[in-house]
Chain A
Amino acid sequence: MARRLVLPLLALGLLAATAAYLLPGLGQKWQFVLSLRATRLGGMLVVGAAIAVATVLFQTVSRNRILTPQIMGFDALFILLQTALVASLGPVGFAGLPDLAKFLAELALLVGASLLLFGTLLGRGTEDVARMILTGVILGILFRSASGFLARVLDPNEFAVVQSQVVASFSRVNASLLPWAAGLTGLAILAALRMARQLDVLALGRAPAVSLGLRHDLVLSLALILTAVLVAVATAMVGPMAFLGLIVVALARPLAGTDRHAPLIAVSILVSCLLLVLGQTLFERVLARQSPLPAVIEFAGGLVFFFLLLKGRVR
């Protein structure tokens, strides 16, 4: 009985949290305050949904419950590509491009690169999971260093731009990009929901999936493409958040009570948005913003991941 109540309850909770974030203490200049808060709220919802779905998809592709695309260096790859684009076009040519064209170009590059890299990695290393994760982590460090390197070679001043991307924050959500990000995320989530049954089969592993008549490699590539799109959107909006997805999906699995993708995706999205909005409300209002929420989530998520590793969940 409780299972059927999970979705409505979560939705109600999210609604209440949204109201608690938007409404109190609006004061005289309420239009300004409301539009500022609405932008941030929109950013949180888009990022929360994107990260939740990306993590579910990635865990299915890698057949591993403690991985997130960010742990494997997806977001670092995105930042590297951004930097490389600046380097090849020059700062002026880069600034001349419209925001959207820039974003789409970066997105296309990320999808290509991640298919190439993680497609081969995931196809190859599944028998030694720890080595695969270690490789991903090291690749992440490599990408980050390479973008730092490129930024310095490009122009010592550009260094600050790349460095500012190292820390995630919701206060940098770009209002003009928000509708596009929301649209892309929505499309990707719809696609993931339409593929839900194929994803259920994909999760069984290669041999069973093929014998059940699934075009395994095609579905795997599609899932990776969707993951790349979602990670790119989230990273472009607020910066790298490695462990949010881990916490969210770990919470959502028992709540959903099933590994079928359609309900799991829905529950994960709600849990993720609820966590972000509640957390942000708590930090902005109650704790008077002593520390940014992403930093806290990253810290807690890192510790959770560490202890999951020690407990041997990865083996």
Chain B
Amino acid sequence: MRLWLALGLVLAALAVVSLATGAADLGVALGRDGSKAALIFWASRLPRTLAVMLTGAALAVSGVVMQQILRNRFVEPGTVGTGESAALGLLAVTLIAPAAPIWVKMAVTALAGLAGTALFLRLVRGIPPREVMLVPLAGLVWSGVLGAMVLHIGWQTDLLQLVQVWLMTGEFSGVIAGRYELLWIAGAAAALALFAADRFAILGLGEGLATGLGLKPAAVMRLGLVVVSVVTALVMATVGMVPFVGLVVPNITSRIMGDNLRRSLPVTALGGAALLLACDIAGRLVIHPYEVPVGTVLGVVGTMLFLWLLWRNPRHG
């Protein structure tokens, strides 16, 4: 309970900082012209802060779901090819039907993410669960291959700018009111996973045990896959790839409060929001008034945390 409170306070403080941070100085704008300050606040600062928190929470939750499905702590949607295959789908639909309405693009992106992840699940089925390091390794190589395809198609079609700036490195500088609302659906999908938290916890015990406890593992797995790919696709299409949030936050939460997902999943969501918001603020401050994309900041912070997790606790993967 205390963890809840502490994380909530941290997140609130971060949100206030985020609302006050940006290229334009709100105080100065306020002194000169109140309506301009209000415009900046309502059209840019508030949507951005909300988008970051939604994304962080949704990604952290989908990381947990992925880890339960694969029964491996060191995976997340970004490292098993979900992100890259969603990017492939988005690229394909952008090329084939550029005029398609946004919901069609979303659907195609989500379906592609789903297909890529399902294929990976089939391919790694032969690896026994105790080979802890092999699944994330195979996942990273798999996403590398898919990512190379995305890069290559982008190169061929003169879309490399779009691919590298928009898809491969997530950033929130483009978020304004009217451009981020799809993330609420990602938040809703993650909330759905919160309600099914106990099922995912049981699924993580293994198919045999889960069946014995009266659960249909295949159905829960399908639900999990849908949640993960919807969240990934929406995040991918709105802000681009945001790596490692779904990996490090669940691991740290489970280290502190164990694996009772009903209790720990909301904390994980809060933690994901806080981590992503902190990284986003850092990215905004380093070369103020310019920005470093949050994907790049996370590439540094997230990998360091990952390495720490990898070497700190070798026995209980």
Q: Give chain A's interface residues, CB within 8 Å of chain B.
A: 128, 130-131, 133-135, 137-139, 141-142, 144-146, 148-149, 152-153, 156, 163, 166-167, 242, 290-291, 295, 298-299, 302-303, 305-306, 309-310, 314-315
**Interface size range of chain B in the complex:** 35 or more
* A152:B140 contact, CB within 8 angstroms: no
* B133:A134 contact, CB within 8 angstroms: yes
* A314:B287 contact, CB within 8 angstroms: no
Flag whether B144 is at the interface (Cβ < 8 A): yes
Q: Kindly identify, within residues 150 to 188 of chain B, every residue whose CB is under 8 Å from any CB belonging to chain A.
A: 151-152, 155-156, 164, 169
A16 to B: closest C-beta gap in Å? 30
Select one of A133, A145, A302 contacting B300, CB under 8 A. A145
Contact A315 to B134, CB < 8 A, known contacts A128-B314, A142-B303, A145-B299: yes
Give the number of residue pairs across the A-B interface with Cβ within 8 Å.
105
* B299:A138 contact, CB within 8 angstroms: no
Q: Summarize B's interface: helix, strand, loop or mixed.
A: helix
Question: Please, which residues of chain B bring their CB within 8 A of the CB of A138?
Answer: 140, 303, 306-307, 310
Question: Please, which residues of chain B bring their CB within 8 A of the CB of A306?
Answer: 123, 138, 141-142, 145
Leading 6 A-B pairs by shortest Cβ distance: A145-B299, A130-B133, A142-B303, A302-B145, A131-B133, A306-B141
Docked complex Cα distance between A195 and B225 (Å): 53
* B303:A134 contact, CB within 8 angstroms: no
What are 19 A-B pairs at a CB distance below 8 A? A130-B131, A134-B136, A137-B141, A138-B307, A139-B303, A139-B307, A145-B300, A148-B169, A148-B296, A149-B292, A149-B296, A149-B300, A152-B293, A152-B296, A156-B287, A167-B155, A290-B156, A291-B156, A299-B145
* A146:B300 contact, CB within 8 angstroms: yes
A117 to B: closest C-beta gap in Å? 12
A70 to B: closest C-beta gap in Å? 11
* A295:B296 contact, CB within 8 angstroms: no
Docked complex Cα distance between A76 and B77 (Å): 23
* A310:B123 contact, CB within 8 angstroms: yes
Flag whether B311 is at the interface (Cβ < 8 A): yes
Contact A149 to B299, CB < 8 A, known contacts A134-B136, A134-B137, A135-B307: yes
Question: Please, which residues of chain B bring their CB within 8 A of the CB of A166?
Answer: 151
* A156:B127 contact, CB within 8 angstroms: no
Question: Please, which residues of chain B bring their CB within 8 A of the CB of A299?
Answer: 145, 148-149, 152
Docked complex Cα distance between A302 and B140 (Å): 10
Docked complex Cα distance between A146 and B140 (Å): 18
Flag whether B286 is at the interface (Cβ < 8 A): yes
Question: Please, which residues of chain B bring their CB within 8 A of the CB of A167?
Answer: 151, 155
Docked complex Cα distance between A261 and B299 (Å): 38
Give B164's nearest chain A residue, CB to CB. Answer: A163
A20 to B: closest C-beta gap in Å? 26
* B297:A149 contact, CB within 8 angstroms: yes
Select one of B132, B145, B303 contacting A141, CB under 8 A. B303
A178 to B: closest C-beta gap in Å? 25
Additional A-B contacts beyond A130-B131, A134-B74, A163-B164 (7; CB < 8 A): A128-B133, A131-B133, A133-B137, A298-B148, A299-B148, A306-B145, A309-B137
Contact A153 to B310, CB < 8 A, known contacts A295-B148, A306-B138: no
Question: Please, which residues of chain A bring their CB within 8 A of the CB of B136?
Answer: 134
Give A149's nearest chain B residue, CB to CB. Answer: B296
B131 to A: closest C-beta gap in Å? 7
Docked complex Cα distance between A306 and B292 (Å): 32
Contact with A along B247-277 (1 / 0, CB 8 A): 0000000000000000000000000000000
Question: Please, which residues of chain B bring their CB within 8 A of the CB of A315?
Answer: 131, 134
Docked complex Cα distance between A303 and B292 (Å): 32
Question: Please, which residues of chain A bring their CB within 8 A of the CB of B297?
Answer: 149
* A295:B131 contact, CB within 8 angstroms: no
Question: Please, which residues of chain B bring their CB within 8 A of the CB of A153?
Answer: 286-287, 292
Docked complex Cα distance between A28 and B315 (Å): 69
Question: Please, which residues of chain A bring their CB within 8 A of the CB of B137?
Answer: 130, 133-134, 137, 309, 314
* B310:A142 contact, CB within 8 angstroms: no
Select one of A144, A295, A314 contacting B134, CB under 8 A. A314
Select one of B140, B149, B310 contacting A131, CB under 8 A. B310
Contact A309 to B310, CB < 8 A, known contacts A141-B303, A145-B296, A163-B164: no
Question: Please, which residues of chain B bring their CB within 8 A of the CB of A133?
Answer: 133, 137
Docked complex Cα distance between A123 and B180 (Å): 49
Docked complex Cα distance between A133 and B138 (Å): 11
Docked complex Cα distance between A145 and B307 (Å): 14
Contact with A along B83-115 (1 / 0, CB 8 A): 000000000000000000000000000000000
Question: Please, which residues of chain B bring their CB within 8 A of the CB of A141?
Answer: 299, 303
A296 to B: closest C-beta gap in Å? 9
Contact with A along B276-317 (1 / 0, CB 8 A): 000000000011001011001111100110110011001000
Docked complex Cα distance between A139 and B310 (Å): 12
Docked complex Cα distance between A156 and B287 (Å): 9
Question: Please, which residues of chain B bring their CB within 8 A of the CB of A163?
Answer: 164
B139 to A: closest C-beta gap in Å? 10
Docked complex Cα distance between A133 and B139 (Å): 13
A137 to B: closest C-beta gap in Å? 5
Docked complex Cα distance between A134 and B137 (Å): 6
B186 to A: closest C-beta gap in Å? 24
Give B152's nearest chain A residue, CB to CB. Answer: A295
* B144:A302 contact, CB within 8 angstroms: yes
Give A125's nearest chain B residue, CB to CB. Answer: B311
